[in-house]
Structure 1
Amino acid sequence: MKVLFVDGTIIGSKTGAVLDAVEKYMKETGNEYEIERMDFADYEHQFVDGRPLEQYNEDMQKLVQKFEKADAYIISTPIFQGSIPGVLKNAFDMLHPHAMRYKPVSIVANGGTHQHHLVVENQLKPILDYFRSLVTPNYVYTQYDHFDEDNRIIDEDVNNRLREMVRVFGKYGEMSKDLCKDTLDND
């Protein structure tokens, strides 16, 4: 299964640190995941304005292709000002509505305090529901004091929740194999 790790921000390092932990726990499962990492900071982003895909720069086209070719996703996002970053929403706006259909998605998010965890419920999950992704129910939200000064996760509860998220993600991956992802309907 091709799993795309999406670091959905162009600044900061905590979202990447959480993805590092998720990758470690995925490797511990023994499942044969083919993990590819997409760090938005490595791309030249353009504002999505409705043009055809071929009119955007090479990086934007590559971003879309990576989403389309993946079988599943781990999306890592910071929470800024009570919202997901604009660059992440902009990337979703580039995708065809069927690009993520029936593909498993797990979410990890990071904010400065515990108060912004509901951004996942109120913003990110509805976007992924629009794509009809198979969103695992157990996202993991981290905050500043879950990390040490080197951005390693030091909170054992967070590590346990990440392990459980990976376990559930694997089950969703198995379930998705039986679902037709290429079905085009009139929605």
Structure 2
Amino acid sequence: MKILLVDGTIIGRKTGAILKQIETYIKEFDGSLELELLHLADFEHQFVDGRPFDQYNTDMKTLVKKFEEADGYILATPIFQGSIPGVLKNAFDFLHPKALRYKPVSIVANGGTQQHHLVVENQLKPILDYFRALVTPNYVYTHASHFDKDNNIIDENVLERLQELVRVFGKYCELSNDLPKEPIDQH
């Protein structure tokens, strides 16, 4: 299975640090999964504005293709101003409604306060539910005190929760294998 580890922002380093830790845990848990780190910062973004898909730039076409071809996702997002980054929402807006259907998704988020974890519940999960993704129930939320000055995770509880997230994600990957996927109409 091909798994995208999506860094859902164009600024900051903490979500990328979380994904690197998850990548290590996935390799320990199930070395058969093909992993790709996808940093939204590596793409030249355009706003979804209703024009035909073939009129968007190559980066947006590549981004959509990577999402469509993946079999599962770990989404890492910062919480800015009580919301997911616009660039992540814009990426979702490019996707066909069937792009994530019955594919496993785990969520990790980072914010400045403990209360911002509710953004996962109130914004991100409803978007993923719309796509009918198989969202694991155990997302991990972090904040600045969980990291050292070099953005290494120093909180043992966070590391344990990330390991558990990976374990549950692996089970959802197994479940996903038995579910039918509908082909996506070409854009």
Name the TM tier (shorter chain).
over 0.9
The SS at the match of 1:117 is helix
Could you say which residue in structure 2 is the equivalent of 1:102?
A: 102
Report what 1:174 is aligned to. 174
- Unmatched 5+ stretches in structure 2: none
TM-score, reference length from structure 1: 0.96
- 1:156 alignment counterpart: 156
Mapping of residues 61-140 of structure 1, within 5 Å: 61-140=61-140
TM (normalized to structure 2)?
0.96
CA displacement 1:22-55 (0-9 Å, x = unmatched) = 0011011134110011101110000101222111
- RMSD over aligned Cα, in angstroms? 1.0
Deviation at 1:183, TM superposition (A): 6.5
Counterpart amino acid of residue 119 in structure 1: V
Cα distance in 1 for partners of 2:171, 2:30 equals 13
The one-character-per-residue Cα deviations of 1:58-78 (angstroms, maximum 9, x if unpaired) are 000000000000000000000
Structure 1: 4+ residue segments shifted above 2 A: none
Helix, strand or coil at the partner of 1:18: helix
Residue 18 of structure 1: aligned partner = 18
| 2:43 alignment partner in structure 1 | 43
List runs of 5+ in structure 1 lacking aligned partners.
Answer: none
* Per-residue deviation, residues 99-123 of structure 1 (Å, max 9, x unmatched): 0000000000000111100100000
Amino acid at match of 1:7: D
- State the secondary structure of the residue aligned to 1:120: helix
Q: What is the count of residue pairs matched by the alignment? A: 184
